[in-house]
Amino acid sequence: MKRLKVAILGSGNIGTDLLIKIMRSPYLECSLFIGRHLNSPGMNKASSLGIKISDLSIEAIEKDPDCCQLVFDATSALDHKKHWPILKKLHKNVIDMTPSGIGEMCVPALNIDHCLKYDNVNMITCGGQSAIPLTSVIGKTQKDVEYIEVVSTIATRSAGPATRINLDEYIETTEKGIRKFSGCTNVKAILTISPAQPPIDMQTTIFAKIKKPDIPHLREEASGMVRKIQTYVPGYQLVIPPVLESERVVMMVKVQGLGDYLPKYAGIMDIINCAAIAMAEEYAKKIGQVPDEVVS
């Protein structure tokens, strides 16, 4: 049985890390790795791994539509807006890694089965993937949630140029995701890029204002959710379980990466890429792909 053929559009940090993770997947095979410059670090990495590469951007898929069934778009929100109409016409399934906000928002721990119905699935943002499952636990276990705030800090080297240029979209898409999955309408997302050397691990803190917080119930459900996330993001840890600090409910998560393309501090890669791969594998299973021996 063959593995599902996927193409990666975008040869930056996210795209290149995805490639390395896909090569370990028993369900997926990267048939084309697409960028804009043959000499970029990501393209060099892909060629050194024996992967077919192209510098034609979206045209590479237009010219050879049979190269893949599923496309990971790891470019930028603005680029995805241009890519989507083309990919839709070619009947490709798309997993959008950018905060474009076009596709159905997907958090594997919460709605992976629901997302199988959609041809464009959006992975929201790294901060969204780390925080939204816990904000949904807040929504589920607490009454009268007045406000939720999510603050993520990432290391400078782990934020590539597209992440930086997409900062506003990052914030707005993360907020949209929190609203959808927590049910709380008054929300805020903040992102800080830390210049510290050596770099810090990705960290996300969730704050909430709740009229009468039920901390024991929240703790119990949060730790269950963390275990669920750890099945696809091994480096996800709840470092401060829910506590009440000066009338704010606070919990803090650290994400250590697998160290595939960027070092382990770049949990930002792992949280969103592991989520995207969980989604793609689920899709492969749905259309009847069975696990293949991984040749490495």
Partner 1 sequence: MKKILITDVTLRDGNHAISHKITKEQIALYAAAADAAGVPIVEVGHGNGLGASSLQVGESAIDDETMLRTARENLPHAKLGIHVIPGFATINKDLKKALDLGVDVVRVAAHCTETDITQRHINYVRDRGKEAYGVLMMSHMTSKETLVEECQKMESYGAEGVMIFDSAGAYLPAEVSERIEELIDNLQIPVGFHAHNNLGMGIANSVAAAEAGASMIDGSARGFGAGSGNAQLEVLVAVLEKMGYSTDIDLYKLLDAADIAENNLVKEIPRIKSLSIVSGLAGVFSGFSKPVERISKEYDVDPRDVFFELGRRQVVAGQEDIIIDVVAKLASQKKER
Chain residues binding partner 1 by CB under 8 A are 147, 149, 151, 153, 156, 161, 164-165, 167-168, 171-172, 188, 190-197, 200, 203, 205, 207, 209, 239-240, 245-246, 248, 250, 252
Residue 248 CB, shortest distance to partner 1, in Å, is 5
Report, in Å, the least distance between residue 208 CB and partner 1: 8
Mention every residue, 6+ apart, whose C-beta is less than 8 A from residue 112.
106, 278, 279, 282
Residues 106, 115, 126, 184: which is the catalytic one? 126
Q: Rounded distance, CA 261 to CA 20, Å?
A: 7
Write the DSSP symbol of residue 215: H
Q: Could you tell me where the beta strands, DSSP code E, fall in the chain?
A: 4-9, 28-34, 53-54, 70-73, 93-96, 104-105, 120-122, 145-155, 187-194, 202-210, 236-245, 248-255
Contact status, residue 49 vs residue 17, Cβ threshold 8 Å: no
The Cα-based distances of 170 to 5, 21, 163, 167, 237 in angstroms read 29, 23, 8, 5, 22
29 vs 175, beta carbon nearer partner 1 = 175
Our CB check for partner 1 shows the closer of 167 and 287 to be 167
> What minimum distance in Å lies between the beta carbon of 276 and partner 1?
23
Residue nearer to partner 1 on the CB measure, 90 or 250: 250
Q: Smallest distance, Å, CB 69 to partner 1?
A: 35
Measured from the CB atom, is 167 or 294 closer to partner 1?
Answer: 167
Give, in order, the Cα–Cα distances in Å from 296 to each of 23, 46, 129: 8, 14, 29
Three-point CA angle 58, 260, 262, nearest 5°: 80
Q: How far is the CB of 165 from partner 1 (least distance, A)?
A: 7
Measured at the alpha carbon of residue 152, what is the angle toward residues 148 and 158, in degrees to the nearest 5?
160
Active-site residue flag, 184? no
Place of tokens 């060629």: 47
Strand order in the sheet with 248-255: 187-194, 145-155, 202-210, 248-255, 236-245
For residue 225, which of 217, 202, 172 has the smallest C-alpha distance?
Answer: 217
Q: Residue 10 has which token pair? A: 């975008």
Write the DSSP symbol of residue 193: E
| Active site amino acids | 126
